[in-house]
Structure 1
Amino acid sequence: MQMLKIVALLLEYPEKALWEEREALCALTARQAPMLQPFIDGWLGGALLDRQAEWCETFDRGCATSLLLFEHVHGESRDRGQAMVDLLSQYEQAGLLLNCRELPDYLPLYLEYLSLQPEAAARQGLQDVAPILALIGGRLKQRQSAFSQLFDALLAWAGSPLRSSSVAAQVSKEPRDDTRQALDAVWEEAQIKFIDDQAQTCDSAPEKAHQQRIQQQTMPQYLDLSAGGAK
């Protein structure tokens, strides 16, 4: 299942080694996953520094296009922590050892795990997260990002009827969370929270065990996978 490994590699932060091995990657893609060739030609045709900046703009601004799968399901609730513990257990059973760099629900890591499974299990693993893939892909498509092609390729390979276009109506109603105004609002609230925390005295009332994440003015909808839609 080289296709899953190739997509995982393309979704990672662009590194110099990938550009140096572009010819080998193109040859492998032509044999194993020709549907990815248009994306690879365009992506690797750009300068590395430009692609690094584009990757950060795409996946690191806001959380609507986050590559952390459970971010789109559980947000920062306790359920996300338990889901990651369960996923980590699956990785360990498959012999996949993690370092501390990424969380278990990081999509490229999940794809690497699926690539080690029998084909039927790998397809089912993608179908299990198909609503998330479609949602991220739909948001990328709205932002005219070529990365949406990779998400549609994953959905097609999994045999899912969903595509990035399937959630176009939902995505069109969502406020963008990657604009300067949205990011400034998050920063301002973080500053206020920091000041409030510093102002608290030792004899103040005990804080809640788990503080809610900073409430952004523009938040993407989370998915209820059991219902197949957005909350």
Structure 2
Amino acid sequence: MRRRPFAAPSATPAELATARQAASLLLGYPDEELLARLPLLRAAVAPLPPALAGPLGRFLDHLETTPLAQLQTDYVDTFDLRRRCCLYLTYFTHGDTRKRGMALLQFKHLYSRAGMTLADGELPDHLAVVLEFAALGDAVRGERLLQEYRPGLELVRVALEERASPWASVLHAVSATLPPVDAADREAVLRLAQQGPPAEDVGLDPYGALPFAPPEFIPQPASGASP
């Protein structure tokens, strides 16, 4: 599949890295440390292009006005209990099959080459980790990973939008750091929505039983980030 050139003309590589690093932090489990970083995140996000600063700023507003206990409850309910909101990208391409283990090893190899070490118990395909790699490790390979797993990323984004989740703004900003969704990725998103990820004999229930958006509900990223 042919991909468009890296990034958007309205965002510099440094701005893309800042947006991805901010999104990485905002997709982690909310805690006191994250709230303490709010002033720093505000200062980092404010100068970004509107397509990036807008959605990230909206989520920062939500963090500032929501009690921490509520944030934590909502995070677990959103990302840990709902398959379509799963932040582990290889889940969408490999499900809980043996092939997923090999994909995770490939992620670790890329990180190792960039000098990045994962924390104990941290899986390398979590979107927050991939975004940190793209921001601080290897921008080119990180971009490729996000593009390779774009259908799963967009599936999560639309699922969050359907739920009117505040985290949808963060996924919207992530999508805005990438080229517009192409036809092949749109088709892949729809297949995931209808069939779910691959499964072995003890696989997972398909998404087919769950309502999902029609093709026209998968919008392009904001025009400010179009290549």
TM-score, structure 1 length as denominator?
0.69
Task: Structure 2: state its 5+ residue gaps.
Answer: 1-16, 209-227
| Number of the residue aligned with 1:19 | 35
Counterpart-to-counterpart distance in 1, 2:162 and 2:150: 18
Task: Structure 1: state its 5+ residue gaps.
Answer: 176-209, 222-231
Whether 2:165 is the aligned partner of 1:145: answer yes
Whether 2:210 is the aligned partner of 1:220: answer no
TM-score, structure 2 length as denominator?
0.70
- The amino acid that maps onto 1:19 is L
What SS does the aligned partner of 1:115 have? helix
Q: What is the 5 A alignment of 1:1-231?
A: 1-32=17-48, 33-35=52-54, 36-117=56-137, 119-161=139-181, 170=190, 212-213=202-203, 215-216=204-205, 219-220=206-207
What SS does the aligned partner of 1:158 have? coil
CA 1:118–1:78: 2 relative to 1, 3 Å:
closer
Aligned residues: 180
CA 1:142–1:116: 2 relative to 1, 3 Å:
same
TM-fit CA distance, 1:29: 1.2
TM-fit CA distance, 1:104: 1.2
Counterpart-to-counterpart distance in 2, 1:70 and 1:121: 16
TM-fit CA distance, 1:99: 2.3
Q: Which has the larger radius of gyration?
A: 1
**Structure 1 segments of 4+ aligned residues over 4 angstroms from their partners:** 117-121
Counterpart-to-counterpart distance in 2, 1:118 and 1:102: 19
Deviation track 1:101-154 (CA, whole Å, cap 9, x = no partner) reads: 211111111111111245444433322222111111111111111212222221
Greater mean alpha carbon deviation, residues 8-17 or residues 63-72: 63-72
